[in-house]
Chains A and B, each alone.
Chain A
Amino acid sequence: MREVWITGVGVVSAHGLGSHALASAIRDGRRSLTKLDFPTEGFPIREGGLADALDPEEFVTKRKDLKLMSRDARLAVAAGVLALRDAGLEGEAGDDLGLFMGVGPEKGDVSDLVPAVAASREGGRLSIPAFAARGMELMNPLASLKTLPNMPLAHVSIRLGAMGPNLALSPDERATELAMEEAEAAVAHGECDRALAGGADCLTSLSGFCLAWRHGRLGPGRPPGEGAALLLLEAAEVARARGARPYRAEDLPGPLAPWIGFSGAAHPAICRAAELALGGRA
């Protein structure tokens, strides 16, 4: 088994972009919660951790790619680019770069279906013949491609040219913890020399929030959040050969959720990124 180092950290959260922003916000004790950007009258929670600092256009090669990307995918792509940049491997990670991600549940955007459903009503009921005749053509043909939970991984692979071993596990933080373990095992066992591992999720959209609330993932001290973190895992012998230094972890001062929100499948990866950001490089 090979020793595995973490040589790059890419993170996007309510505390900003990158490991330095995350570490300094934690050290400063900053609380980065703001009002949710959907109607919250009567809701049990009205604040969340939004990754407002993200400008997705900065991280895609073609602006039109954004049309196909959900919020989760935009967060993931940014985290992937930042991780390779942090490791000094942007554009040089090799096409056997592995990709192991925890992804959130299927979160359809209801607005994609509203015109189709509106055109398919007959007498207050949903009419399938009316859907076939009038509703279907009003569906966003790209909606399913945005909805598929593995699309964050797909977009990261396309952006970074990652063709290595891969996993997209769903639907919550346990999936991400497992994905990160599997990435470490893949590098340790020689399936690939480098792998990005982490997660992406958005619980600050209406559907993301409602799903998380229904499943008991949110509550007092656990407002919704969004974000992504991808860590570059590298075989120590490979990293050493290029003069890279590994990150070391430092304990967090406490749970992150009250400060940046709980971000579902992204959360364990963001917490790990925070530990590494605080610890810095060895």
Chain B
Amino acid sequence: MSERRAVITGWSVLSPIGCTRESFAEALLGGRTGAAEVRAFDASGFGSRVAAEVPGFSMAAHVGAREVGDVADRADRKAEFGLAACAGALDHAGLAEAPAGREGRWAISMGTGLASVVPREVERDMVPFVLDDGNHDLRAFARQALDDRWSASRHRTDAVNEIVAAWTGLTGPSASHFSACAAGAQAIGQALRWIRRGTADVVICGGMDSMIHPFGMASFILLGALTTGNDEPERANRPFDRERNGFLIGEGAAALIIESEEHARARGAEVHGEVRGYGTSVDAWNVTAPHPEGKGARLALERCLADARLAPEDVGYINAHGTGTELNDPIEAGAIRAALGPSGAGVPVSSTKAAHGHLIAAAGALEACVCLVALAEGALPPTLNLENPDPACDLDHVRGAARQSRIEVALSNSFGFGGQNASLAIGRPR
């Protein structure tokens, strides 16, 4: 029996460089960045004051007439991005709800991140209970936490899954992936597995995140992970460059509709691409630092190629994890060279994080959409600000401007805190 193919029939992004497919593609290939001084709050005293924010976002403008009910009590900013992206992807695919009797054949698989905390939540939930001696009135806090005024209940990781299930009537599997920066890619990989195994005919998948709030940025600053290029925000993040100094925090969401090929053909859907393969691994090394030999990253890439039954020379482009941190970039470059071998040495590589920022749990989903743009437009987006490539990151970098190239397959890498790694192979429709 031939394997069921997983085709992409809809996609949508909410990104710092565009909230429509067209504007996203144009910014990506035009070399524009969403990096700017933080606007979400007064970050003037922060060591890193640069971020890529989604400007002027309003969920209502994206979800249309869909019922969101008490969404403000159930969804934070990242969840609102996720809902908007899912609505956009369903619209793009021409799908609204699961047909009667087929509800169990629709599934959802979303990557998500930590709570998108707004300062007033901390002010309400914590400030009244901090005593003058610096201790915490635990009893008073607990009494409030048990009533309906505790904000933590607004940050459920599966809120988007539940609301989208209500929109579409889906009753198939629902997965909420929590694997840090690998979550969005793992969510898409899971969709591929479900389609191939016949678990589902339609899977809504993707990722969402927003950590551009004082406590989110502070947690990354304390780990020394964020770029400190505050004086020139648009040039702050420099993946694979000798002068790289940390990642650019981004926010947003991306969603894809993945269907079995026969389901898509039967309803006459337009096919925009195919998820050809998926590989995943764990570093089993350290909760923040990558394996020093890039073993986990290499395994994810090798497993992805094997899963997709692709040879290294079949790969036309790699969208790298490429955070612009001291540790990630050379280790990822080494993993790419090791996984693809001599025949893969000339594969063009770029990291697009200097354009849209690092979307954390949404990164893998957004960057799968970058691959769709590259496939559709016949152009590979550049790594911005890559002026002096680090010799330790020796790859065929796409830099300066987009490179015209008609490709058949692109790979996308995502590596997360905790050591979880995921690689996806996204192909042109066959």
A residues near B (Cβ < 8 Å) are: 38-39, 41-44, 68, 95, 99, 103, 105-106, 108, 110-111, 113-115, 117-118, 121, 124-126, 128-129, 131-133, 136, 139, 141, 143-145, 147-151, 153-155, 157-158, 160-172, 174-175, 178, 182, 185, 189, 206-207, 210-211, 213-215
Contacts and interface: CB of A to CB of B under 8 A. Distances in A.
Contacts of A213: 146
A210 B286 contact: no
A185 B193 contact: yes
Interface string B412-429: 000011111000000000
Given A126-B119, A158-B286, A210 B142 contact: yes
Interface string B167-202: 000000111111110000010001001000100000
Contacts of B126: 110, 113-114, 117, 126
Contacts of B288: 145
Contact of A169 (B44, B134, B139, B176): B176
A260 to B, nearest CB: 23
Interface string B279-294: 0111111111000000
A108 B135 CA distance: 17
B157 interface: yes
Given A68-B287, A114-B130, A129-B44, A166 B280 contact: yes
Given A126-B123, A170-B176, A214-B145, A158 B284 contact: yes
Contacts of B122: 113, 117, 126
5 contacts: A126-B126, A144-B220, A170-B112, A170-B177, A210-B146
B157 A149 contact: yes
5 closest A-B pairs (Cβ-Cβ)? A132-B45, A154-B418, A141-B222, A144-B219, A210-B145
B127 A125 contact: yes
B337 interface: no
Query: Quick one: which of A44, A99, A169 has the most chain B CB within 10 A?
Result: A169
Given A151-B418, A158-B285, A214-B145, A167 B190 contact: yes
B141 to A, nearest CB: 7
Given A148-B418, A171-B156, A178 B175 contact: yes
Contacts of B214: 128, 131-132
A129 B46 CA distance: 8
Nearest to A137: B222
A170 to B, nearest CB: 4
B39 interface: no
A99 B282 CA distance: 9
A171 B175 contact: no
B222 A150 contact: no
Given A133-B45, A150-B420, A165-B303, 8 more contacts: A105-B156, A128-B41, A139-B219, A150-B417, A153-B420, A206-B142, A214-B152, A214-B153
